[in-house]
Structure 1
Amino acid sequence: MEEKAMVSTAELGPLISELKSIMQKKGYSPASIMDLEKVWMSLTKYASTVPITQFDEYFRGDFLRTEYGLRMDLEYTMYRANRALALLTNYINYGVVTGFPKGKHLAEFSEGYQELLTAFMDSEARRGLAESSLKSLRSRLFRLNVFLTDKGAKTFSLVQRDTLNDFVKYLAPYSTTYVSENLRMLRRLCTFAFQFGYHSEDLSACVPFVKNSRQQKIPAIFTEAEVERILASFDRDNPLGKRNYAIFLLAARLGLRSSDIKALEFGFINWKEKVISFSQQKTKKFLSLPMPDDVGWAIIDYLKNGRPVSDSKYVFIQHNPPYGQYADLRSLLVKQMRKAGIETPANKRIGMHCFRHSLATTMLEKGVPLPVISQTLGHADISSTEVYLRINISQLRLCALEVEL
């Protein structure tokens, strides 16, 4: 399909119908399409109430603000709305249906790309990439496969510079980290394809470099008062409340990642020394932290008075048979924030990581040296900790210069 020019809001109806038809052929479920269609119906209705204009980022922004606002309790709705707009925008701009139906990212690559992409992944595995990194690589390659195929390049040998330029432009709305990782992957793939005869030209030179500067993104944080309000919102008279309170204390007081909290085993806790020691899930770096009294007593209260009888090695488990490892921390956080009366814009990413960021910021404000904070959070590199300097307003004020009048 040819790439479309910028369209007006009066043309949205037929384009949405085209998009739905293609999604059906690609295997999107009726339920998924219906979910997105609710957004598209709201979009066309909104377009009919305002003067005809171009379907650009300004129009889309006005639609989101008017239709959905920025309330936290609409977070899933905002996610769905942004996804629906992204699908429509990419179809209009590039003539492709980006993304893939649920579960399809685990499917095989298309026939024309199977040999190349499998060989490329094998070569990346031999470089020593971790299993989690290979999984992410596969997901990015699958998305690239879908994009290139939809653009008419049924094999990589048919890919042209303009096709890659379109893919680069398609990536533009994503985070700097995501763009940087995709372009790095694309450069390596182009070189690999040329070296092993999958393309007559090394196209890596036409893939731009994007510096992945982690410090461009300021972490989301809670204030100390908000942290205490969240902790106070738990009903500690019931088993679930006891479990959840202990989990959130570990995040708030020690800054543990959610992956490490979920993987916490009984053997990681030294009750005599009041220390928690474990190998971090993300970095594999060993971390040993003193256990504050309130954290220790909260865990004890849960184990004695809340945890179901189970032989699971994990401290925190689900409270329904078969009592597996507890996992759903993010939805619990959103629920407790509502209960504590804490609101945040729906387009702001909120998760258990906010407690890590909040702890680091509080420590900075209290004058704790950066290396100590880095050690506490278990960062593999102190540069990961330095990003918190950007949100330490009180210290930034000390750097202010007087202006002579």
Structure 2
Amino acid sequence: MEGLNKVFTSELQTYVSELKEVMFQKGYSDCQVQTYNKTWQSILSYASVQPNQEFTEGFRQQFLQDVCAEALEKRDSMYRITRAVNMLSDFTQFHVIFRQYCTPSTDFSEELHDLFSEFLKAEEHRHFSESTMKQLRGRLMRFHDYLYDIGIRDFKSVTGSIINTYILSLARYSTTYVSESLREIRRLLTFGYENGFIDTPLSDFIPHVKNIRQQKIPSTFTDTEIEKILNSVDRSNPIGKRNYAIFLIAARLGIRSSDIRTLTFSNINWDDKLISFCQQKTGHALSLPLPDDVGWAIIDYLKNGRPETNVKNIFVSHMYPYGELHSLGNVIPRQMRTAGINTPANKRTGMHAFRHGLATRMLENDVSLPVISQTLGHADISSTEVYLRISIKQLALCGLEVDL
């Protein structure tokens, strides 16, 4: 398989101009193009002092760290900036614009429609859920866009080299996404060959990528970092009281952010000091003891911080009309900055790091995996075993003596 092309920062102006032209041809609005162009102009300005640098992933991450670190703390800005960077990266390497979203109304091109649509009909007989079929369609649409943008109008024109280049375009995605995408493309190409859409068995060019569950080591906060974050919260204002209680719940109990956001008054039994709820991710019920400091932080928020609203959730948005709290995505990066905790621009650390930190501390204190699994509400103990990778103490127990 051939590698990626070398692109230097001195060439970026030409690529940006071509990219904008192609976007207009594809029907992007002037407003959309100008939104992304703001980031591209920042890249060009950053690159002007390093004209002979290679436009690599390392260069792009350094740009994000040096120029966009503060903007990346805001979820909307993060998506817009990273989308612009990825678009330019894809265009320099593949001359393709991969769409960000695939709606039900998004259809395959007339020339390539038959194979994709017939394959999807065949997949429906495997009785996948609606969400699984939606994900499958999105992965196939990405492959379709690549083929169409490089000029393919007939599957019989597809070669092994074209497929290899497409596989390279998946490099920045997770092992899970790559594994599932390649599996479905392999099935698509096999279906196409068996049904006369393709003359050669192109599926032979698709490698088998094993999706090792929980392959990535999770992000985690140390005890010191947790205390820094908690101590940095300004608890003299309503939002600070809310965030402090949320952080404390995540740090002390390891509850997922999706469950924290949807906690209601009925989930807390103050007499028995219990917090009980049904987990959104697994659908399983979970009941945990409510520590005193967590309870008092919640009470402080309810009495002195929570705005008057009919919303049943404990934690609410502090923007009128004070509805449900839909996301906590940008809260942690901002608080980490306030606490003086630095993290690489390409490493997203969120509420999950509290949860992972709790699991690691329990492991370090010799708490058994079944107990940790029960505390975190894991449906499968294999989900808990990943924390062995970040527990130095437990890893040491796995060491073997070497005969000298």
Normalising by structure 1, what TM-score? 0.84
Shift of 1:403: 5.4
Correspondence for 1:330? 329
* Letter aligned with residue 234 of structure 2: D
* Letter aligned with residue 293 of structure 1: D
Partner-residue secondary structure (3-state), 1:298: helix
Partner-residue secondary structure (3-state), 1:216: coil
* Letter aligned with residue 35 of structure 2: S
Partner-residue secondary structure (3-state), 2:370: helix
Is residue 262 from structure 1 mapped to residue 265 from structure 2 by the alignment?
Answer: no
Is residue 61 from structure 1 mapped to residue 64 from structure 2 by the alignment?
Answer: no
Correspondence for 1:222? 221
Correspondence for 1:294? 293
Correspondence for 1:32? 35
CA distance in 2, matches of 1:109, 1:292: 53
Partner-residue secondary structure (3-state), 1:289: strand
**Matched residue count:** 395
Is residue 109 from structure 1 mapped to residue 112 from structure 2 by the alignment?
Answer: no
Correspondence for 1:95? 95
Match of 1:42 among 35, 45, 55: 45
Shift of 1:247: 1.4
CA distance in 2, matches of 1:71, 1:403: 48
CA distance in 2, matches of 1:4, 1:372: 47
CA distance in 2, matches of 1:290, 1:181: 39
CA distance in 1, matches of 2:39, 2:70: 19
Partner-residue secondary structure (3-state), 2:286: strand
* Letter aligned with residue 17 of structure 1: S
Larger deviation, residues 85-94 vs 74-83: 74-83
Partner-residue secondary structure (3-state), 2:25: helix
Shift of 1:341: 1.8
* Letter aligned with residue 110 of structure 1: F
CA distance in 2, matches of 1:383, 1:37: 43
- Structure 2: give runs of 5+ residues left out of the alignment: none
Report 1:4-403 matches (<5 A).
Answer: 6-7=6-7, 10-28=10-28, 29-42=32-45, 44-48=47-51, 50=52, 55=54, 57=56, 61-62=58-59, 64-65=61-62, 68-69=65-66, 73=70, 75=72, 83-100=83-100, 108-112=106-110, 117=116, 127-154=126-153, 159-193=158-192, 199=198, 203-401=202-400
Shift of 1:39: 3.8
- Structure 1: give runs of 5+ residues left out of the alignment: none
Q: CA RMSD in A?
A: 3.3
Partner-residue secondary structure (3-state), 1:277: strand
Shift of 1:242: 2.0
* Letter aligned with residue 109 of structure 2: E
Does the 8 Å CA contact 1:4/1:95 hold for their aligned counterparts? no
* Letter aligned with residue 238 of structure 2: P
Partner-residue secondary structure (3-state), 2:169: helix
Shift of 1:378: 1.5
The 3 A distance-change label for structure 1 pair 275 and 14 is same
* Letter aligned with residue 333 of structure 1: I
CA distance in 2, matches of 1:385, 1:123: 37
Aligned sequence identity (%): 50
Post-superposition Cα deviations, 1:173-205, rounded to whole Å, max 9, x if no partner, equal 322222112112322333455566655666434
Does the 8 Å CA contact 2:175/2:211 hold for their aligned counterparts? yes
Shift of 1:124: 5.0
Does the 8 Å CA contact 2:36/2:84 hold for their aligned counterparts? no
Shift of 1:119: 6.0
The 3 A distance-change label for structure 1 pair 80 and 319 is closer
Larger deviation, residues 298-307 vs 110-119: 110-119
The 3 A distance-change label for structure 1 pair 5 and 371 is closer
CA distance in 2, matches of 1:7, 1:224: 43
Partner-residue secondary structure (3-state), 1:354: helix
